[in-house]
Amino acid sequence: MFRKGSLLRELPILVVVALVVSLFIKSFLVQFFYIPSGSMENTLQINDRVAVNKLPFVSGKINRGDVVVFRDPASWLPAADSSSESTIKTKIKDGLVLVGVLPNPAKQYLVKRVIGIAGDRIVCCTDKKLTINGTAVDEPYIFKGNNPSDITFDITVDPGKIWVMGDHRGASADSRYHQDDINKGQVPLTRVTGRVFGVIWPFGNAKIVPSIPVLK
């Protein structure tokens, strides 16, 4: 049984320990993100909150078929604007960012599926299918009614980078649309935060998000 004075003395220590644990989890294990667009439908829906496993990034094991969150590699997104938010709301957000509940708004993030890894040659399209290293691939996750791509391309992925595309191909400004940037549309692994492994909110959408092999 705790005495009241003892609890009050230990409370600051407990708060510090909780913050340290939270920061450790955020830095090395799990981080949470909000899905603002339909570029990954129907795998992920607008307004979904997803949990991201950071261990694949730490270990360097990012595979074809993984759904990954990454920092904007080369101005793919417009600059964020939070100037209209109240000071109180901003402080609350800052606190949630600190403990890992929200991502840092100054570091804009995207979510896409990994289609190619270093050394892969990806070509669009043969008989309405992408080919990877000369093999036509089936993509069961593509949004119903979409083609694998309406943009033709022939790209070999550079070392240390990945080629990413949204599952809703008709609504995703992904690697295909940024082939003239410094990375030729590819995403450096140093920008990858981790792999999406589940939807945690809203409860009606909660599920595990598996990695679906693109090339078997």
Phi, psi of 31 (to 5 degrees): -140, 155
pTM over 0.85: no
The overall average pLDDT reported for the chain is: 83
Nearest to 192 by CA among 79, 52, 24: 52
Is 163 within a domain? yes
Average pLDDT on 23-39 reads: 75
- pLDDT of 208 over the 80 cut: yes
Q: What is the pLDDT of residues 145-185, one digit of tens each?
A: 999 999 999 999 999 999 999 999 999 999 999 999 999 99
pLDDT grade for 215, boundaries at 50, 70 and 90? confident
Find how far residue 143's CA is from the centre of its chain: 18
Q: Which of 3-7, 28-32, 129-133, 151-155 has the lowest mean pLDDT?
A: 3-7
Q: What is the pLDDT of residue 210?
A: 93
How many domains is the chain partitioned into structurally?
1
Distance CA 154, CA 102 (A): 37
Nearest to 48 by CA among 197, 210, 212: 197
Is 199 within a domain? yes
3-state helix, strand, coil in the chain (%, to 5): 25, 25, 50
113: CB partners within 8 A, 6+ apart: 40, 43, 65, 66, 67, 68, 141, 164, 165, 166, 167, 214
Q: Percent of the chain, pLDDT > 70? A: 72
Looking at residue 158, which CATH number applies to its domain? 2.10.109.10
* Catalytic residue check, 59: no
Distance CA 166, CA 35 (A): 12
Is 214 within a domain? no
* Catalytic residue check, 91: no
Q: What is the pLDDT of residue 41?
A: 97
Distance CA 66, CA 51 (A): 13
Q: What is the pLDDT of residue 30?
A: 83
Range of the domain at 76: 4-208
Q: Percent of the chain, pLDDT > 90? A: 62
From the candidates 39, 149, 175, 211, give the one annotated as an active-site residue: 39
pLDDT grade for 216, boundaries at 50, 70 and 90? confident
From the candidates 26, 112, 161, 172, give the one annotated as an active-site residue: 112
Is 215 within a domain? no
Is 213 within a domain? no
Is 65 within a domain? yes
Distance CA 132, CA 123 (A): 7
Q: What is the pLDDT of residues 44-64, one digit of tens each?
A: 999 999 999 887 554 458 899
Around Cβ 55, how many Cβ atoms within 10 Å?
Answer: 13
